[in-house]
A = this chain, B = another copy of it.
C-alpha cells in the first residue's frame, strides 16, 4: 500500500505555521511499513484542492488530508471531497446533535455556520472527534482506494488517526523497534568513535543526537513484526550498552530530574542547591517535576562573591582561590547542605560568558555535590559556546553526577 499526504490551508503556503502534522503522520505510516512517495500542500482554494485530490487518487492507494475541516468559508476539504466523488453533502442529524450538545455544554450559542461540520456524503463515514468540533471523514472509493480527512489541530489529528482511522483501515501495527540511550559526560564525536562500525549499519541503525541533557544514541530496527525488529536490534543494543556503560544514565522517556526525585524519595533523602553561573537553572530542573517539594529543600542563587560569602562560603577561600575554583564550589556544596539541612548539597560555579571573569576563561566550570559520604568535585572545560548552552551543560552534568552516586 502507498499513501499520500495532503495538507490544506493558505496559512501553510504563507509560511505562517510550520506543518508538523505531515511529519507526524509520515513517521507513523513509516513505522507501519506504509510507503509514502508524495506529500503536497494546497491553499484554501476549491479548484486547486480538487485537482490535488484527483492527482493523489491517480497515484496512491490512501490519501490522508490534514486540515480544512473548520466551520468557516475558508475550510473547503468537505466541499472538495464531495466534488471529487460527485456527491452532495447533507446534514447528518447525529453529527448535528453532537455539535449542538457540545455548544450547550460549554454555554455558548452555536453559530449557524458551524452546521457545516455536520455535513456528510453517502460514500463517507464520519470519524468521531470527542476533543474538537470537527468530525473527520473516511471516504471509501469504488476502486478500493481510501481518503481520510483529519482536523488540523495536532492533538485532534493524532487522536483521530490512532483511535479511529488505524482500526478502520486495519493498518498493520508498527513493526519498528526503537530504543534511545542517554549519556552524560561525553561529547558526540567521542560517542561516535566508541560506537565505531555500529553507526554504519542500516538495519538496525545506530544514530547519535546531541541534546540538552547529553548525547542520545538511538537504535532502530525494522522487520515484519515488532518482536522480530526487537530481535534484530538486540546485538546492537548490547553493544551500545557495553561500549557506553560508564556514561549511560537512562533510556527512552527517562528524565534526570524525575529519576533523581524518585530515587531520593525511595531513600528518604533530600537535596538543596547553591549555584552561581547557572543562575537558578539547577533549582528549576530539580523542581520541574511535580512532587519536587518532597525531596527539594531549596536553593540559593549566589551570583556574586558577596552573596556566596553571605551564605556561608568562607571569605578567605573566595579571596585565596577566587569564586571560580575547586575550593569554592566545594564550600558552596557544603553550605547548601548546611543551610537547608538536606542530605545532599549541589553546587556550581564558573564562567558562562560571553566575557571572561576574574581571569578565568568562558567555559571554565566547577560542579560539586556534598553528601553523607563527603564531597565530590568535577572540573569542566566547556567550549566557549553560547551562555545558555554552558549553563545547561553545567546543570545536567551535576545532576548526572548525583545520579551516578545515588543509583550505585
Contacts and interface: CB of A to CB of B under 8 A. Distances in A.
Interface of A: 12-20, 22-28, 30, 36-43, 45, 48, 273, 279-284, 286-288, 290, 292-293, 296-304, 306-307, 310, 339-341, 353-355, 387-388
Contact of A354 (B16, B290, B296): B290
Contacts of A279: 283-284, 286-288, 292, 296
Given A26-B15, A303-B293, A284 B288 contact: no
Contact of A290 (B22, B37, B286, B387): B387
A281 B292 CA distance: 15
A273 B301 CA distance: 9
A39 B286 CA distance: 44
Contacts of A310: 339-340
A294 B387 CA distance: 16
Contacts of A293: 303-304
Nearest to A281: B284
A355 B297 CA distance: 18
A38 B18 CA distance: 15
Given A26-B14, A290-B354, A307-B298, A39 B41 contact: yes
Given A287-B303, A300-B298, A14 B37 contact: no
**For the complex of A and B, 9 pairs with smallest distance between CB atoms:** A279-B287, A280-B283, A15-B26, A15-B27, A280-B280, A298-B307, A280-B284, A39-B41, A15-B23
Contacts of A353: 290
A293 B387 CA distance: 13
Contact of A17 (B23, B40, B43): B23
Nearest to A355: B290
Contacts of A19: 18-19, 23
Nearest to A302: B298
A403 B304 CA distance: 23
A13 B3 CA distance: 11
State how many copies of this chain the complex holds.
2
A309 to B, nearest CB: 11
B290 A297 contact: no
B40 A39 contact: yes
A303 B292 contact: yes
B299 A300 contact: yes
B298 A303 contact: yes
By CB atoms of chain B within 10 A, which of A48, A284, A288 has the most? A284
10 contacts: A13-B37, A14-B36, A38-B40, A273-B301, A283-B283, A287-B303, A288-B388, A298-B301, A300-B300, A306-B341
Contacts of A282: 280
A349 to B, nearest CB: 12
A3 B191 CA distance: 43
Contacts of A38: 40-42, 48
Contacts of A387: 290
A299 B280 contact: yes
Given A283-B279, A300-B299, A40 B41 contact: yes
A287 B280 CA distance: 8
Contacts of A292: 279, 303
Nearest to A19: B19
By CB atoms of chain B within 10 A, which of A15, A281, A287 has the most? A15
Given A14-B30, A18-B18, A22-B41, 14 more contacts: A12-B23, A15-B23, A15-B27, A18-B19, A18-B20, A18-B23, A36-B43, A37-B43, A38-B40, A281-B284, A290-B387, A293-B304, A296-B303, A299-B300
A159 to B, nearest CB: 18
A40 B37 contact: no
Contacts of A24: 15
